[in-house]
Chains A and B, each alone.
Chain A
Amino acid sequence: MKPLKATREQIRQHNRQLLLRAVYTGLADNRAALAAETGLAKPTVSDLIGELIAEGLLVESGRGESTDSGGKRPTLVRFVPNARQVIGVSLDNGRAFGVLSNLSGQVIAQHYDELENAQGDDAAEILTAVINGLVAQLDAPLLCIGVGVPGVVDVPNGVVADSPPLGWTNYALVERLAQQYHVPVYTGNSAELTALAQYAFGLNSDDDSSKLVTVLVTNSVEVGITLDGTAYHQGGDISGLCAGGAERLDHLLGWPAVQARTAELRAMYRESLLPENGLTYMHIHYGAMNGDPAAQQLCDELSTHLAQIAAWIVGLLRPNHISLAGPIVNLGEAFLNQVVAKTETMLWPQVIRPVIFSLAYSGNLSAIGAAALALHRELDIL
């Protein structure tokens, strides 16, 4: 098969991104240095920098030092983070949660609405109502939109292949939103975007996350992978995998399953103080810490299921970091230690020991990741 040739427009777009990234990351701050850094011809650099300045993405900011040979002092250029804004929305955990950020990923506004089990077009309507809530708060032009979705996502085509919680099958999400908002739209799996947010914005407790795997547990169970800062779009929803016996993972770990199992355990242990209504992971954490037998058994069971997932991940991918995300993190460090201890029993010590385990406490990581994905795809920064 003949390789496809890039069009002039694609090359121009690529060169613009190259220059923008060089300024954004501080590799170069004037036209001559940019030409040297990127290998582009000086006239090309000059034209494209002029274009980026005209669009407000770069600004001239005084003169730099002259070169050793005493040449003319170069005009410096600087990235303008507030020149455009980006919207990222996630549709997991029963909510449509959106963030409006500037080009540096700084969150300017947050907006959410409950999904209330909405499916199909109803879910899409809530998504657009949340995007609209952020559009109303824009104080710079909107550059692009990113959306994180639970389930299997065909990222290159912008199609949600299958998202049972939202009732979307082969749903042309990107096309629909792009028609409505007239800006580029990108979509990805929620867990992948959570991992991307952790990588892009340093939300981990440590820096070594070049091979980071995020296990996102909400109503579903999803796995997101970033390899050297790029989301690996082959992870995603593993809810349907069957662990041990015949149970699907979401029937063991998803929040509806946890609630149902709690009810069973409460019936078994009459002395349990876990509430019948309004149960949260924090109640289970508190109960387990204080000897509540139902809470302790629940933590034991959940940690066993998660350890099995962690062992598969470590065995197959050898990540240097596994992060647990979603409301389940409210079970706390003691629970995480249980997961780690059980994972250690399933693998060779030298395989498991280098892996860092952490809890990702922030509740809006996949929305931030959706914004990061859009920004990365649109400007090749972050």
Chain B
Amino acid sequence: MRVSAASAQRVIDIVTNFPSAVFQRDVIAGAREIFDHAGYPVNVVAIPEAPARLAALPFDKQNLAGCLVITFVLPDPVLNQLHERGIPLSLVGHQLPGGRIPGVMTNNRQGITMLMEHLIVTHGRKRPVFIQGDLLQNDGIQRYLAFQQEAMRYNLHIPPEFILRGDFSPEVAAESMQKFLTHDPDFDALVASDYLMAESAMNVIKASGRRIPEDVAVVGFGDAPEAAQAGLTTVAADITELGRRAARQLIGQIEGLRIRGLTLLSTELIERETTRSQPN
């Protein structure tokens, strides 16, 4: 499906699964600013189902200047094929082993470090539960590893049952939290790998009669108006800026720069009601 039509010039394709989802929408908006300014027409290519082969991709390779690929829309072999054909690529929120295809990512390690410091040092919490993201995605893996590392830094004993499955799905997160609460566990904080899972789990916690933040302080990764409305403490990078950075990286390659590795975007702590009371 093509959202916008390409002109006769060489164009840039932004490949994504759901262009109207919050994250994708903001990345596209930031990238468009830079591409427009540089005079590159943009196609947004929406592919809800990941194609197994390059030939199945609905874009015109003759006319293609470069491709900005958002998260996991294309499987790694397809990305490698594109790269081997010399098509400039930049990945947003994804990374291939070996770093040959450059990308831009939020600094997951820094973000989780900030959240844990906030909970443990500022608010004195000692028994956090973690809701994982999708462990097939880099963001999911990196945030989980960072949580484990930070738990060790503060010498916290995290029982295996305190690690809940979430898959970056609010429904899965709510279900995992519901099941977790049936054992009446002794926990005082929740760290979720994204803000949407934090919100849904928070609703389950409240329904169980626990008070937030008095009984359970809640934090999540990433930010959006929904998180602000829920009063959720988060860490977030500016996603529109992530799109701008990705676009600059892609234009750099189109103009002849050979780039490897990742551009990292810093995160900031946004403190709201889910942790605000009872400073230590």
Query: Hey, which bits of chain A sit against chain B, CB under 8 A?
Result: 96, 107, 109-114, 116, 126, 128-130, 132-133, 135-137, 280, 282-283, 285-286, 289-290, 330, 332
Residues from 251 to 280 in B contacting A, C-beta threshold 8 Å: 251-253, 257-264, 266
Contacts of A107 in B (CB 8 A): 266
Q: Would you call A282 and B249 a contact (CB within 8 A)?
A: no
Looking at the complex, which one of B107, B152, B259 makes contact with A129 (CB distance below 8 Å)?
B259
Measured CB to CB, the closest approach of chain A to B173, in angstroms, equals: 26
Looking at the complex, which one of B98, B149, B261 makes contact with A133 (CB distance below 8 Å)?
B261
Contacts of A116 in B (CB 8 A): 98
Contacts of A130 in B (CB 8 A): 260-261
When C-beta atoms are compared, the residue in chain B nearest to A95 turns out to be: B261
CA distance A153 to B213 in the complex (A): 53
Contacts of B261 in A (CB 8 A): 96, 111-114, 126, 129-130, 133
Contacts of B152 in A (CB 8 A): 282-283, 285-286
Q: Would you call B153 and A133 a contact (CB within 8 A)?
A: no
Q: Would you call B260 and A282 a contact (CB within 8 A)?
A: no
Q: Would you call B155 and A330 a contact (CB within 8 A)?
A: no
Give B236-258 as 1s and 0s: 1 = Cβ < 8 Å from A's Cβ atoms. Answer: 00000000010011011100011
User: Could you name 18 residue pairs across A and B whose Cβ atoms are closer than 8 Å?
Assistant: A109-B263, A111-B262, A111-B264, A112-B264, A113-B262, A114-B99, A129-B258, A129-B261, A132-B259, A136-B253, A137-B245, A280-B149, A282-B153, A285-B152, A286-B155, A289-B155, A290-B155, A332-B153
Query: Are A136 and B252 CB-contacts (below 8 A) given A129-B259, A129-B260?
Result: yes
Measured CB to CB, the closest approach of chain A to B247, in angstroms, equals: 10
Q: Would you call B248 and A110 a contact (CB within 8 A)?
A: no
Query: Are A133 and B263 CB-contacts (below 8 A) given A113-B99, A282-B149?
Result: yes
Contacts of A111 in B (CB 8 A): 261-264
Contacts of B102 in A (CB 8 A): 133
Residues from 62 to 89 in B contacting A, C-beta threshold 8 Å: none
Residues from 129 to 161 in B contacting A, C-beta threshold 8 Å: 149, 152-153, 155
Q: Would you call B252 and A135 a contact (CB within 8 A)?
A: yes
Measured CB to CB, the closest approach of chain B to A363, in angstroms, equals: 9
Ranked nearest first, the 8 interchain pairs of A and B with the lowest CB-CB distance are A113-B261, A136-B252, A286-B152, A129-B260, A132-B257, A282-B152, A110-B264, A113-B99
When C-beta atoms are compared, the residue in chain A nearest to B99 turns out to be: A113
Measured CB to CB, the closest approach of chain B to A54, in angstroms, equals: 26
Q: Would you call A133 and B155 a contact (CB within 8 A)?
A: no
When C-beta atoms are compared, the residue in chain A nearest to B260 turns out to be: A129
Contacts of B248 in A (CB 8 A): 136-137
CA distance A89 to B218 in the complex (A): 37
CA distance A283 to B150 in the complex (A): 10
Query: Hey, which bits of chain B sit against chain A, CB under 8 A?
Result: 98-99, 102, 107, 149, 152-153, 155, 245, 248-249, 251-253, 257-264, 266
Given contacts A133-B252, A136-B248, A282-B153, 10 further A-B contacts (CB under 8 A): A110-B264, A112-B262, A112-B264, A116-B98, A126-B261, A132-B259, A133-B260, A133-B261, A136-B259, A286-B152
Looking at the complex, which one of B153, B245, B252 makes contact with A285 (CB distance below 8 Å)?
B153
CA distance A130 to B252 in the complex (A): 12
When C-beta atoms are compared, the residue in chain A nearest to B262 turns out to be: A112
CA distance A285 to B251 in the complex (A): 44
CA distance A130 to B262 in the complex (A): 8
Measured CB to CB, the closest approach of chain B to A330, in angstroms, equals: 7
CA distance A136 to B248 in the complex (A): 6
Query: Are A136 and B257 CB-contacts (below 8 A) given A109-B245, A112-B262?
Result: yes
CA distance A330 to B152 in the complex (A): 10
Q: Would you call A133 and B264 a contact (CB within 8 A)?
A: no
CA distance A112 to B104 in the complex (A): 10
CA distance A129 to B264 in the complex (A): 15
Contacts of A112 in B (CB 8 A): 261-262, 264
Q: Would you call A137 and B259 a contact (CB within 8 A)?
A: no
Measured CB to CB, the closest approach of chain A to B239, in angstroms, equals: 16
Contacts of B251 in A (CB 8 A): 136
CA distance A128 to B258 in the complex (A): 8
CA distance A283 to B262 in the complex (A): 26
Q: Would you call A133 and B99 a contact (CB within 8 A)?
A: no
CA distance A129 to B252 in the complex (A): 11
Contacts of B249 in A (CB 8 A): 133, 136-137
Contacts of A332 in B (CB 8 A): 153
When C-beta atoms are compared, the residue in chain A nearest to B156 turns out to be: A286
Contacts of B107 in A (CB 8 A): 110
CA distance A136 to B98 in the complex (A): 20
Measured CB to CB, the closest approach of chain A to B220, in angstroms, equals: 23
Looking at the complex, which one of B149, B155, B257, B260 makes contact with A126 (CB distance below 8 Å)?
B260
CA distance A113 to B96 in the complex (A): 12
Measured CB to CB, the closest approach of chain B to A101, in angstroms, equals: 13
Contacts of A110 in B (CB 8 A): 107, 263-264, 266
When C-beta atoms are compared, the residue in chain B nearest to A109 turns out to be: B263
CA distance A130 to B258 in the complex (A): 9
Measured CB to CB, the closest approach of chain A to B43, in angstroms, equals: 21
Measured CB to CB, the closest approach of chain A to B59, in angstroms, equals: 23
CA distance A289 to B151 in the complex (A): 12
